[in-house]
Structure 1
């Protein structure tokens, strides 16, 4: 979806994606250990995963392009008795405010234009602490899946092996290619995606 469409959706009182965390956010916890860590949620939307991770005791930076989404993320954090830092930015030129222990992203990597990906992933990796984790979800081009009806003009699919290629120098902890049903924009359709969890070594 385009930024304008997301802003309109996030301005509604209801939480478009709900308040419960995604499966990937829950899965990430299995790879977390040690002292309190700084997590950046790239494309946090309305904050459901950011708030879930903050509730676990982590310092969370929620980054999103929509002001409405970040406002709801802050509201949800307060409602759940926790806090997080918010930053409004475009993922195409976003610069980390500090080195982080974890980069988490679901539903946002497709907004990075192909010509910007090498630069941005290099920046993300360089600004992650040693032993840090990246837990990522990227929509991919799959021969059995048609383009989603609400796919935005500023969204770009990844090839099936592209995400892994940015992390050949990191330790792969988990990867999976999935096909799933989606009802965004109230139009039933399917997506293909790559899930990748890697560690800086």
Structure 2
């Protein structure tokens, strides 16, 4: 099933409420900060972040998903901007954002994942914050969502190795219960990683 097919219906595949990681960690940002949400999907995280007073740009490869994101934003009385883009060919901006979020973005095989991680780093201003949240390699034992390919899943070592010179502010590998629409439901093995880009 393509992402357009997955997101084309009226229902929200991952629900309309933000990921728990987003609500737990957004305190690190100040009102008015410029935020990029990568592979945002149907808008649940971007819309919530916008409601906290952040300027949010949602990036996704599915036009139906972004259409639903704007509909959700309108229903919640907030505004987001969006961009329809194929991340395998995307030209990343340089130093444009105070924060970049990548939440459950594990559609990418290792080579593309590396390019996305480098692009996210490039898009951040010096001193900006990177927020990553997704499935641990331990998720293969669960049926609550995520890819079934181990090389698409994360370990803390993988993320630390991807940002070796950054300040690591928060990192965790843990189990939780997901209730995020039909796409994420049940016991899950998760990874959190927050790091600050060097200022020089």
CA contact 2:104–2:134 (8 Å) conserved in 1: yes
Gaps of 5+ in 2: none
Match of 1:199 among 191, 196, 200: 196
Match of 1:146 among 134, 138, 141: 141
Q: Please name the residue that 1:54 is paired with.
A: 50
Assess, with a 3 A threshold, how the Cα gap between structure 1 residues 161 and 7 changes in structure 2: closer, same or farther. same
Aligned residues: 195
Q: Please name the residue that 1:8 is paired with.
A: 5
Q: Per-residue deviation at 1:106?
A: 0.9
CA contact 2:145–2:183 (8 Å) conserved in 1: no
Q: Please name the residue that 1:96 is paired with.
A: 92
Judge which range, 144-153 or 131-140, deviates more.
144-153
Q: Please name the residue that 1:76 is paired with.
A: 72
Residues 48-104 of structure 1 show CA distances to partners (whole Å, capped at 9, x for unaligned) of 110111112211111112111110001111111111111122333333345111111
Assess, with a 3 A threshold, how the Cα gap between structure 1 residues 31 and 147 changes in structure 2: closer, same or farther. same
Residues 5-62 of structure 1 show CA distances to partners (whole Å, capped at 9, x for unaligned) of x4333222222222222212212322113x6211111111110110111112211111
Match of 2:19 among 19, 22, 32: 22
Judge which range, 153-162 or 76-85, deviates more.
153-162
> Matched residues in 1 for 2:194 and 2:67: separation?
28
Gaps of 5+ in 1: none
> Matched residues in 1 for 2:144 and 2:188: separation?
11
- Root-mean-square deviation (CA, aligned residues, Å) is 2.8
Q: Per-residue deviation at 1:182?
A: 5.0
1:103-122 alignment, distance < 5 Å: 103-108=100-105, 110-122=106-118
> Matched residues in 2 for 1:36 and 1:132: separation?
14
CA contact 1:141–1:160 (8 Å) conserved in 2: no
TM-score by length of 1: 0.82
